[in-house]
Amino acid sequence: MDNVTHAALGIAAGIAVHRRGGSISAAAVAALLAAEAPDLDVFLRSADDPLEAFRWHRHFTHSFAFMPVWALLSAWVTTLFFRRRHNVGWRELFLPGLVGALTHLLCDGCTSYGTMLLWPFTEARYAWDCLPIVDLFATLPLLVLAIMAWRRYSPRLATYALLWFAAYASLGVWQHARAERSLRTWLAQRNIEPARLALKPTISNLFVWRAIWLNDGRWQVAAVRNLPFTDTRLVVGESRAAWSADSAGNPPPYSEGAHLIADFSRFTGGWNTYDVQPGAILVGDIRFAMLPTSSKPLWSVRCAPGGGLADTTLIMDRSLQDGDWSRFGALLSGSDSRFIVIK
């Protein structure tokens, strides 16, 4: 999730668990540092390897096993800040650091990207799909409460901040389950048995979901809108071919290109699209797009038939078409004329 949310969660968690009689500010700083530290993985990238950043983002730095390292480091750095003004030892800051790091992991786990929470025991990427990557409704009340908690030295306000965020994430779990149930009903009415199905939150709300399912070798996407206590409605979006190991134009086995596609596929969990371009194939990640009804991936690997590293590039496409914001607005407000009610 965004770093403002991580900071606010860290501050609130640090204040909530600070040692009685100890420095609340030192606990808040230690937890804040630990809550930001896992995202230091953004510096793990290489100019030679287009997938390096994907490979390492939310990897071991985002695992429960690594949390004590962040807790120790942040506690130690914080004692350097506070040594002169307070008699603060690293031992009393270890717990705030630990819970600060924990808030980062759980918060990222709630989003859709995929977080290696259980590394090194498994490299599975957990994505609970219940919070958008940026959500003002989740973050603003949390931030205000966390700042007030720090200014007033109030563990009670810090606890309210954490409860607000937990309640919002729980609402996301409930809304996600409702949207998935309705979508499966709609698909069953059409005798569609999807081989895979997922719903992802869309930006800054919990009632328009990006639905993706795999049927007959194609990915289909749709926007599912489910305001609480109303009928769920759906707009069927675009579709795109699914990539497979047998797709025409794949690079030769054991080539650099094949290795990169395998790596990309591990990152996407196999949610791969397939497109043919002049002299190359494009393997994309269907999970994310700029609009919930779009099948154009945010990122893809472009690979020429030779499979050489020089012919393989990572393509990032975050471009918006004219009118995309108003199209998204129509999905949010429910005014899109394509909506179908799911009975």
Give residues in contact with Zn ion (CB under 5 A): 38-39, 108
Q: Which is nearer to Zn ion, 38 or 237 (CB)?
A: 38
Nearer to Zn ion, 38 or 297 (CB): 38
- Minimum distance from CB of 10 to Zn ion (Å)? 12
Tell me the closest approach of the beta carbon of residue 113 to Zn ion, in angstroms. 8
Determine how many CB atoms are found less than 10 A away from the CB of residue 203: 14
Task: For residue 308, give Cα distances in angstroms to 53, 253, 302.
Answer: 20, 11, 11
Question: Residue-wise over 42-66: b if at least 16 C-beta within 10 A, else e?
Answer: eeeeeeebbbeebbbbbbbbbbeeb
Complex with Zn ion: residue 155 or 201, whichever CB lies closer: 201
- For residue 268, the minimal CB distance to Zn ion (Å) is 18
Could you tell me if 38 and 117 are in contact, meaning their C-beta atoms sit under 8 angstroms apart? Answer: no
Any long-range contacts for 171-176 (C-beta under 8 Å, 24+ apart)?
A: 171/206, 172/110, 172/130, 172/131, 172/201, 172/206, 173/128, 173/130, 175/130, 175/206, 175/207, 175/209, 175/226, 175/228, 176/129, 176/130, 176/201, 176/209
**Residue 66 or 186: which CB sits closer to Zn ion?**
66
Least distance (Å) from Zn ion to the CB of residue 332? 26
Nearest distance in Å: CB 112, Zn ion: 13
Q: How far is the CB of 210 from Zn ion (least distance, A)?
A: 21
Bin 323: left if φ > 0, else alpha if -120 < ψ < 50, else beta. left
Cα separation, 191 vs 187, in Å, equals 6
Question: In residues, how long is the chain?
Answer: 343
Closest approach, Cβ 186 to Zn ion, in A, equals 34
- Other CB atoms within a 10 A radius of the CB of residue 18 amount to 24
- Find the DSSP H helices in 291-333: 324-333
